Amino acid sequence: MLRLYNTLSKKKEAFSPINKGKVSIYTCGPTVYDYIHIGNLRSFVTADILRRYLEYSGYEVRHIKNITDVGHLTQDDIAQADTGEDKILKKALTEKKTPEEIADFYTEAFHRDEEAMNILRAHFFPKATAHIPQMIKIIETLIKKGHAYEKNGNVFFDVKSFPEYGKLSGNTLENLKVGARLEEHPDKKHPWDFALWLKADPKHLLQWDSPWSRGYPGWHIECSAMSLEYLGDTIDIHTGGEDNIFPHHEAEIAQSECFSGKKFVRFWVHTRHLLVEGEKMSKSKGNFYILQDIREKGF
């Protein structure tokens, strides 16, 4: 019997799928603005091992791994903030290329790294930019249900409207403090609310029409839209790195369950950080290694 440590329940649980003989898996894929480091790869290898075991056990697995090619702001790794530059746009401006060129280049590099690690290809790699209409539909529904609000062309999720917020990470409203993992935005009702849609500056290279403004989606809404599109209202297993637990996966739960009225994920499986001299491997810290670095060291 397969038992998984479920981040949601904080304990090991016997696994059983929603539909007999079939398993749905959603893996948070890369933000394609740079090469993935081996800490990222560790998360994808973990998901691959889990999938291989399930298929070996006779399950029919449907595995989705998204490609984030818009909306992941530079502040999202350290705060539940809706500030900073889009990581892909920042890279594009630095290298004097289009965002599409940056995303395409690093998406291909990601696929090559997974192939080198003998990771099974996901059945589909949906791109965020190809699912803007689905995101807008979800946001419209959340506004109608009273879970989101618009101001000055920006749309935010009203965290107070979802009493279960914090059930994954433990960061309930009572525990959240401004200045810890939160940041003020002038259009937010509350500092812990998060962006579903942000109005773009006219010069912003990544923007789309919407009922509220010409702008771009928040990072969190992207995964909800793609998982709902390809796996339905409830997923058997959602995987990712532990750094995604808050705010990203916490936000996914809130917006998805408020949209569908159903439980979003049954089993949350997170991979621990890969450490370098006791610290989390991170691009922001500069203490990371990509697969090519490991090859050059003779491994």
The residue among 133 and 180 whose pLDDT is bigger is 133
Mean pLDDT of the chain: 92
Residue 124: give its domain's CATH number: 3.40.50.620
Residue of higher predicted confidence among 82 and 174: 174
Q: What is the pLDDT of residue 36?
A: 96
For residue range 251-293, what is the model confidence (pLDDT) as tens digits?
999 999 999 999 999 999 999 999 988 899 988 788 899 999 9
Instruction: Kindly state whether residue 167 falls inside one of the protein's structural domains.
Output: yes
**Is 16 contained in some domain?**
no
Judge whether 112 lies within some domain.
yes
Q: Show the 3-state SS of 111-146.
A: HHHHHHCCCCCCCECCEHHHHHHHHHHHHHHHHHCC
- Is residue 180 a part of any domain in this protein? yes
Identify whether 1 is part of a domain.
Answer: no
The answer to whether the beta carbons of residues 107 and 69 sit under 8 Å apart is: yes
Residue by residue, DSSP assigns 154-171 as: EEEE-GGG-TTTTTTTS-
Query: Residue 255 is part of which domain span?
Result: 24-296
For the chain, the domain total comes to: 1
pLDDT band for position 245 (cuts 50, 70, 90): very high
CA distance 296 to 298: 5
275 within a domain of the structure (yes/no): yes
Phi, psi at residue 12, to the nearest 5°? -80, 135
Which residue type, as a one-letter code, is found at position 163? Answer: P
Tokens of 32: 């394609």
Q: Is the pLDDT of residue 163 over 80?
A: yes
Instruction: For residue 4, tell me if it sits in a domain.
Output: no
pTM: 0.93
Residue 19 falls inside a structural domain: no
pLDDT of residue 161: 98
What percent of the chain has pLDDT above 90?
Answer: 76
Cα–Cα distance for residue pair 270/281, rounded to 1 Å: 16
What pLDDT digit, counting tens, does each position of 69-99 carry? 986 554 443 344 455 678 888 888 889 999 9
